[in-house]
Structure 1
Amino acid sequence: MGARRAIFATKNMRATSARELPLQPGSSRPRDFRLYWVAGGINLLGSQASGLVLPLVALAVSGSPAAAGLVGGLGLTGRLVAAPAAGVLADRLPRKGMMVTALLVAAGAMAVVAGTLAVDAATLGILAGAAFVEGVAQAGYESAGAGAIRRVLPPDDQRALARLEARNHAMQIAGPLLGGALFQLARWAPFLADVVSYLVAATCVAAIRTDLSPQRTDHNSFLADLRTGLRFVWEHPFLRFVTIWAAGINFVFGALIYHTILVAGRRGDLPVSIGLILTIASVGGLAGALSAPRVLRHLRPAVAIPIASWATVGLVAALCVARQPWSYGLLFGLVFLLTPMVAIVFQSRAITITPDHLQGRVATVIGTTGEALRVFAPVLAGALVARYRPDAVALIFAALLAVLAAYATVNVRNLRTGTALVRED
């Protein structure tokens, strides 16, 4: 009964967005957002650097590609297993302390990998255990960080969220390059860099002055809190819509990228060509994130979201005539140029309508649903590549995206109703 009353109350609360919270004289929010931004960027840089070479190290240690793949998948497994508990804890515990603790645990896991590699004592068990522990720690950091973001967002929240998107795309470009360069120096070097990145990120989070603790008003059991978060997402039309949309996009894009890699491999393209495709895609995402606030100042979300969604369908369908790596890269770059704008609008609205004491659980539900579905993306890509020609597969993916585009377009029509999905400023 307590959980049901809590849901009813939060549905009738007026959520206040970051842009509606006035900055008081001497407010530390801009400074704290910069620290939050740097912490996440440094963390992602180190994780991308070590994540690139972890399967290579596992392969060298075990000599088994299957074992190397297992180690690579354990990080994601740790995140998915820990995510439900992490989401609840992020709405119970002091979020800053939870973020720092998670970063230090992850640093310890990577320190074990770096140390055992340095003395040539690494085993498959050590690598697998460290990957799993790091995944669990990352789940804790991400849930607490998602719960805290509303407290540090500047008044112009869409611009701030665009900076976060741009940071993520930039680190996805720089991280693998750093990891590859360090791996050439020594097998343990990327993992030591990851340790340093975790420690720097923990220092940045610890320096945040804003109180990030959740505004907890009830004291239900752990399972009741978990059910409350799930029920709030499912019963809120917009959050349910975003969860389904994000899961679908993650799944289709994940399968599309694996499809491209597999097709390029079957054609005999060099690995550098595949890397070029993914790099161009990341550059497109970076440009899209940087330009999104300017576009949204001149184009209402009710117009921008359908345009971007249907343009993405056309670009993916155009892959059926792409033959060279540069053409694949160009189309991928244009696709990822459009998607940050939609993601920023949805994320801004989700943060706005979610009460503070549910931020961690809601963000975890949305994110984990997408990640869990994405696990099956390589399976779909492999099955389609084995059975159909590349042009037919491209059209299949375009059809799936058309379903998502239609879903988004229909839901965005509710903008002018009392249950508006996206606020028009």
Structure 2
Amino acid sequence: MTTTSARRAPSGSVSGRARDFRLYWVAGGVNLLGSQASGLVLPLVALAVSGSPAAAGLVGGLGLTGRLVTAPVAGVLADRLPRKAMMVTALLVAAAAMTVVAGVLAAGAATFGVLAGAAFVQGVAQAGYESAGAGAIRRVLPADDQRALARLEARNHAMQIAGPMIGGSLYQLARWAPFLADVVSYVVAAACVAAIRTDLSPQRAERPSFLADLRTGLRFVWTHPFLRFVTFWAAGVNFVFGALIYHTILVTGRRGDLPVSIGLILAIASVGGLVGALAAPKVLQRVRPVVAIPVASWVTVGLVAALPVARQPWSYGLLFGLVFLLTPMVAIVFQARAITVTPDHLQGRVATVIGTTGEALRVLAPVLAGVLVARYAPGVAALIFALLLAVLAAYATANVRKLRATVPAVEED
């Protein structure tokens, strides 16, 4: 039995930490850029190969399935194995999967089975990379962790804007081009991770069984008031926002709007998220989180409730952009606190529990969106979404003082 504090593990000089954080930042950004580029066109390629929309959807779903089924295992391994080696290996496995896709497309020999298998393997590899990366982040974060996390959040939004644009442009040149770009992105990301000098390996003296490790991670999240709260909150937000985006796509498509209108709405939303992430540290310097989080949560409810008044794609996108302008600030505060209260040797498991819970619930988001489109007018659906967000806002308001919760002792099985 061991007791572990939540103090930050030493990882070298300030300049060394800054250098390694830049490498970590670039690796994740390049990886996300390539994944966004290929992810946009993979269903299109599957549709062209199989001729079946259902088959195309299955290929996309297999990538998510690979991530979800692997995540619990990857979370445990991220707290047992050298994390840098695990990240590099995962990136190279994903690169191999996309190399196969690019190769068969270039040779004109693509089949549905090859595409489905590659999507699943890529999902498995991505789960490994994300779990190890989540476990390692505490070691490379600068002292100003909120500003650093804001840079990570801004990077993600920027890549979500640029990735699909690059993927679509490369697809116009050749079907295989986006996947070759993804291969390059994985290799570059692996090189960046390999260049990190900080020791990212978990600090633990004992090595209990795999199942005991898994139970320890689950129990730690469940018994820690703040982590339990943020897990439920993040899952709810992922579900509602996922359903809201799908609902927007379905409604605009049903209305006969051009695909460019949908792209405009999502692009404005992503820009809002980018600006919100960049502005969050300055806002949090002036406004206490216990005030900022409830205000941002309730303003978001009002913005979603106002969606029915938007008549044009740009006005709809503007409201979406304002919603995504506010959410990064809340996410950054919660993520920073979650990293702080989690001991080093549990970082991978805790991040995986929180992330997987949200991803698993988000799978149901398209179902909710489809039901609302089929049964209710857009105005009624917007009010339903606003009501769900109001429940989450009330939950956040009631629990925001858990940000000050103390760190419990951790007992290994």
Q: How would you bin the TM-score normalised by the shorter chain?
A: over 0.9
Aligned residue number for residue 337 of structure 1:
325
Cα distance, 1:219 vs structure 2 = 1.3
Indicate whether 1:212 and 2:200 are aligned: yes
Match of 1:147 among 135, 140, 156: 135
Aligned residue number for residue 371 of structure 1:
359
User: Over residues 77-125 of structure 1, what are the superposed CA-to-partner deviations in whole Å (9 max), with x where a residue is unaligned?
Assistant: 0000100000000000000000000000000000000000000001000
Aligned residue number for residue 231 of structure 1:
219
Distance 1:306 1:262, change over 3 A: same
Aligned residue number for residue 411 of structure 1:
399
**How far, CA to CA, are the matches of 2:13 and 2:351 in structure 1?**
30
Aligned residue number for residue 411 of structure 2:
none
Aligned residue number for residue 7 of structure 2:
16
The question of whether the paired residues in 1 share the 8 Å contact of 2:157 and 2:274 is answered with yes
Aligned residue number for residue 423 of structure 1:
none
Aligned residue number for residue 193 of structure 1:
181
**How far, CA to CA, are the matches of 1:243 and 1:57 in structure 2?**
35
Aligned residue number for residue 67 of structure 2:
79
Pick which of 214-223 and 341-350 moved more: 214-223
**How far, CA to CA, are the matches of 1:26 and 1:151 in structure 2?**
12
Match of 2:151 among 163, 166, 181: 163
**How far, CA to CA, are the matches of 1:419 and 1:369 in structure 2?**
22
**How far, CA to CA, are the matches of 1:49 and 1:27 in structure 2?**
33
Cα distance, 1:266 vs structure 2 = 1.0
Q: Secondary structure at the match of 1:323?
A: coil
Aligned residue number for residue 389 of structure 1:
377
Aligned residue number for residue 246 of structure 1:
234
The code of the aligned residue for 2:7 comes to T
**How far, CA to CA, are the matches of 1:280 and 1:173 in structure 2?**
9
The code of the aligned residue for 1:319 comes to L
**How far, CA to CA, are the matches of 2:307 and 2:126 in structure 1?**
35
Match of 1:46 among 15, 30, 34: 34
Q: What is the CA RMSD across the aligned residues, in angstroms? A: 1.4
The question of whether the paired residues in 1 share the 8 Å contact of 2:14 and 2:142 is answered with no
The question of whether the paired residues in 2 share the 8 Å contact of 1:100 and 1:205 is answered with yes
Aligned residue number for residue 96 of structure 2:
108
User: Over residues 46-84 of structure 1, what are the superposed CA-to-partner deviations in whole Å (9 max), with x where a residue is unaligned?
Assistant: 000000000000000000000000001110000001000
TM-score by length of 2: 0.97
Map of 1:265-276 to 2, 5 A cutoff?
A: 265-276=253-264
The code of the aligned residue for 1:118 comes to A
The question of whether the paired residues in 1 share the 8 Å contact of 2:226 and 2:403 is answered with no
Distance 1:415 1:242, change over 3 A: closer
Distance 1:66 1:99, change over 3 A: same
Cα distance, 1:24 vs structure 2 = 5.7
Cα distance, 1:320 vs structure 2 = 2.2
Cα distance, 1:412 vs structure 2 = 1.3
Q: Secondary structure at the match of 1:215?
A: coil
The code of the aligned residue for 2:268 comes to I
Match of 1:183 among 171, 180, 183: 171
The question of whether the paired residues in 1 share the 8 Å contact of 2:27 and 2:190 is answered with yes
The code of the aligned residue for 1:301 comes to P
**How far, CA to CA, are the matches of 1:153 and 1:59 in structure 2?**
42
Aligned residue number for residue 387 of structure 2:
399
The question of whether the paired residues in 2 share the 8 Å contact of 1:17 and 1:351 is answered with no
Consecutive unaligned residues in structure 1, runs of 5 or more: 421-425
**How far, CA to CA, are the matches of 2:210 and 2:196 in structure 1?**
28
The question of whether the paired residues in 1 share the 8 Å contact of 2:76 and 2:349 is answered with yes
**How far, CA to CA, are the matches of 1:17 and 1:68 in structure 2?**
45
User: Over residues 191-210 of structure 1, what are the superposed CA-to-partner deviations in whole Å (9 max), with x where a residue is unaligned?
Assistant: 00000000000000000000
Pick which of 409-418 and 247-256 moved more: 409-418
**How far, CA to CA, are the matches of 1:211 and 1:367 in structure 2?**
24
Consecutive unaligned residues in structure 2, runs of 5 or more: 409-413
**How far, CA to CA, are the matches of 1:326 and 1:190 in structure 2?**
29
TM-score by length of 1: 0.94
Distance 1:232 1:264, change over 3 A: same
Aligned residue number for residue 34 of structure 1:
22
The question of whether the paired residues in 1 share the 8 Å contact of 2:8 and 2:139 is answered with no
**How far, CA to CA, are the matches of 1:87 and 1:313 in structure 2?**
33
